Amino acid sequence: MVIENLVRPNIRAMKPYSSARDEFEGEAHVMLDANENSLGSAGPERFNRYPDPHQRAVKAALAPLKNVAPEQIFLGNGSDEAIDLLVRLTCVPGQDSILILPPTYGMYEVAANLNDVAMERLPLTADFQLSPEIVAQVVASKAKLVFICSPNNPTGNLLYADAVEEILRGFGGLVIVDEAYADFTTAPSWTTRLAEFPNLVVMQTFSKAWGLAGLRLGMAFASPEIIGYLNKIKPPYNISEATQQHALAALQDAERFEAMRTGLLKGRDWLAERLPSVGIVEEVFPSDANFLLARFRPDATAVYDYLLEKGIVVRNRTTQPGCAGCLRLTVGTPAENEALLTALQEFES
């Protein structure tokens, strides 16, 4: 597969913006090249200088953790930025399409709509999986991108690895495996297969297990060629200095990461064990993420509204394909999990 052929001609031809920090990278006493404020910053912290546009320190810390080279890492303002840039990189507005496998994360469709890119939808099976028929349809599609969310949001399950591999071998466009919830599963990350598949892009995020949703920091891992193209089209300073500093500190706090990850997994098991015996719960789907999708009877939206009245917000997924009657429940603190369970037990239908 020639990746260059998947890149929009105008992007192949364009020159990226050359920032002041690109043109001078050394140490200097007098920095008068970027129209910054040499006097300092308003507020308690000093952020008067533009950040490293290549986020070298963060990538140097991340690369060994993910077992990839720094040149295989793209950092975005959340994975949502990577989703948007991948669509823009490959799809000519008004002409090309992307492929999604509903029910799935909503931002793929938003990015397509925003960029005037057509949508192809191939719904997952009733148990939210890929089937040989779906795989054959993906492979036959002329879409430029397919988004495969695994573990999937809102369903929580991993998609069959064999089926994903068949897609990687047969599909003519980029295969984006969105692993936002990778830290909550024991399955190996698709980053371990990057060398085998030149069309593979793996996305992960600091928003979930790292507990840094407020920072907005997402990762994409792929060949240096694909990452080079993403870097070419990103806004020059897309990751703020504050975010880079916080991310570096977080990466050095592996203990806290592991403790939170283990705690959330315990919470998930605790809820998954107890929810099925609640009268209004019809089914709890298996989860490899930090949430559970559950089907409620007789009226999930009434349960949703009741929980809201009690000050508990969950995600109403009843209108998503295949998710009639389903609410998505994020694993909280032990006290929050208990409050949710008690409220559900007390619901009178």
Ligand X SMILES: Cc1ncc(COP(=O)(O)O)c(C=O)c1O
- Give the residues lining the site for ligand X (CB under 6 A): 78-80, 105, 149, 153, 178, 180, 205, 207, 213, 218
> Residue 205 Cβ, how far from ligand X at the closest point, in Å?
3
Strands (E), the chain: 73-76, 97-100, 118-121, 145-149, 174-178, 200-205, 218-221, 281-284, 291-296, 315-316, 326-330
Burial of 186 (0-12, 13-18, 19+ CB in 10 A): exposed
Distance CA 258, CA 268 (A): 15
> Residue 331 Cβ, how far from ligand X at the closest point, in Å?
14
User: Cα–Cα distances in Å, from 255 out to 189, 249, 250, 252?
Assistant: 21, 12, 10, 9
For ligand X, give the closer residue by CB, 191 or 207: 207
> Residue 291 Cβ, how far from ligand X at the closest point, in Å?
9
For ligand X, give the closer residue by CB, 96 or 178: 178
For ligand X, give the closer residue by CB, 180 or 314: 180
| CB contact at 8 A, 107 and 80 | yes
For ligand X, give the closer residue by CB, 6 or 149: 149
Closest CA to 262 of 211, 314, 329: 211
Distance CA 270, CA 318 (A): 24
Full DSSP string of 124-147: --TTS---HHHHHHHHH---SEEE
For ligand X, give the closer residue by CB, 79 or 90: 79
> Residue 320 Cβ, how far from ligand X at the closest point, in Å?
13
> Residue 288 Cβ, how far from ligand X at the closest point, in Å?
12
Distance, C-alpha 44 to centroid of its chain: 32
> Residue 178 Cβ, how far from ligand X at the closest point, in Å?
5
Closest CA to 175 of 103, 101, 116, 228: 101
> Residue 147 Cβ, how far from ligand X at the closest point, in Å?
9
For ligand X, give the closer residue by CB, 247 or 280: 247
Please give, one letter per residue, the 3-state secondary structure of 65-103: HHCCCHHHEEEECCHHHHHHHHHHHHCCCCCCEEEECCC
For ligand X, give the closer residue by CB, 141 or 150: 150
The residue at minimum Cβ distance from ligand X is 78
